[in-house]
Structure 1
């Protein structure tokens, strides 16, 4: 919702004292969006149900067909999903076959205002290609809870921010990116369940 409503751009403007609402920052309603879910296991299926409840058109891609999801989404192939989706949400495990499955080729096929949400594994997305796609408006935004090589960064505190890898600094400073340090799962219940 942060990206859909373009709040990053508004925050950047307001820090400069500009509290106007320009036409180019007008957003759309979620019920006018097509949401593509990549990976329809427990989490992907729950996301599909939530987006459906909000009135979005939901399409999904998964190698395993699950008829119980038909009331919430239409199954499509991966190519159709990336071309038709306004929001692409990723919920798949990392395998040698899908490493880098979101790269320059996929970003070029996505809508230029599409939002990529990755809560799965960082290595599913080619970070360098993502930065280019974001900077040159090949896609509209990215919400990232995971990143390539995150084990060197996430969970650590850097006294010298200048020592962060360039791609992390670039992503943090883009107004069309929301990033968290692999903390989407980080709730009291989830942590408790990890140790049961």
Structure 2
């Protein structure tokens, strides 16, 4: 069988060569993202593999006309794909799973960086300002209550990683996990907002979760609360977040994901004027840490993403035979 791989990065190429040989499939690697102009490359391929590239109805139609029957996204999220269009055209879509420790460990790192004011400390150290004052005085994690929203594989692993710090953890999820419930109290969302010193997001980007953090939910939170998001940018109303940071309702934030990030992240834009005022403004705040959707990015995760994408294509073809 053959797989066409779009948006193949250098770090992925070695794994595609390794696993294509191991699983006896032929892969064609393309550095370009899928577009209307290059969709014809998919002719002769029933399966294609993509990253966080927008696949709208028009592009889905082009792939359908090219004979594509299966799209594997090398990501956990699939909100970049028009699923309704895929269903109408009978194109199956699958996401991948990867080691939850990549995002979980990164989340704990961001939590610690936020409460210990590392952004300010590093900025001052770079200009040889080694003074001590309120601007760099942090908090200790074991004194705080962490609210975990979403207890899927990553949320559960975050909770596991936090146990060693001795902090209180509470959780919210519409589907409660029995194992987590043995040690962690599940609470209503409003209660989590009201009692948490730090709120970390691990929920999917669904219609129900759109702007889960908004003006009203922020009003329920403690003064000085910290917000950490390594899930999806759409979970936070960015304008409401900015307003709350400026009013000092939110004491700090650490964001690995942002609204409207798709045309920015993973590109070198150091000489460009960013077409995202909210991102530029948040970046200017000393108590807001921004990273470009890199929480997942480890050697283990890249290996998992590539192999699981190949395996999903194999599974589809075997079912189709």
TM over 0.5: yes
1:14 CA drift (Å): 4.4
Count, aligned residues:
196
1:97 aligns with 2:208: yes
Between the aligned partners of 1:18 and 1:73, the Cα distance in structure 2 is 41
Contact preservation (8 Å) 1:49, 1:72: no
1:29-48 matches, within 5 Å, as: 29-48=140-159
1:192 CA drift (Å): 1.2
1:15 CA drift (Å): 5.2
1:180-191 matches, within 5 Å, as: 180-191=291-302
Q: What is the TM-score when the length of structure 1 is the normalising length?
A: 0.92
1:88 aligns with 2:196: no
Q: 2:268 aligns with which of 150, 157, 178?
A: 157
Corresponding residue number in structure 1 for 2:279: 168
Between the aligned partners of 2:298 and 2:121, the Cα distance in structure 1 is 29
SS in 2 for 1:152: coil
1:138 CA drift (Å): 1.0
Question: What do you get for the CA RMSD once the two structures are aligned?
Answer: 1.7
Contact preservation (8 Å) 1:93, 1:121: yes
1:177 CA drift (Å): 1.1
Residues 149-179 of structure 1: per-residue CA shift (max 9 Å, x gap)? 1101111122434334211111111111111
Residues 13-68 of structure 1: per-residue CA shift (max 9 Å, x gap)? 44565422114643221110100000001110111122122100000001112221
Residues 72-112 of structure 1: per-residue CA shift (max 9 Å, x gap)? 31110100101111110111111111101101111222122
Contact preservation (8 Å) 2:117, 2:138: yes
Contact preservation (8 Å) 2:260, 2:276: no
Corresponding residue number in structure 2 for 1:122: 233
Between the aligned partners of 1:69 and 1:163, the Cα distance in structure 2 is 41
Change (3 A) 1:173 1:23: closer
Corresponding residue number in structure 1 for 2:248: 137
Which of the two has higher C-alpha Rg? 2
Between the aligned partners of 2:151 and 2:164, the Cα distance in structure 1 is 16
Corresponding residue number in structure 1 for 2:29: none
Between the aligned partners of 1:169 and 1:133, the Cα distance in structure 2 is 16
Greater Cα offset, 152-161 or 184-193: 152-161
SS in 2 for 1:137: coil
Between the aligned partners of 1:154 and 1:80, the Cα distance in structure 2 is 34
Q: What is the TM-score when the length of structure 2 is the normalising length?
A: 0.58
SS in 2 for 1:150: coil
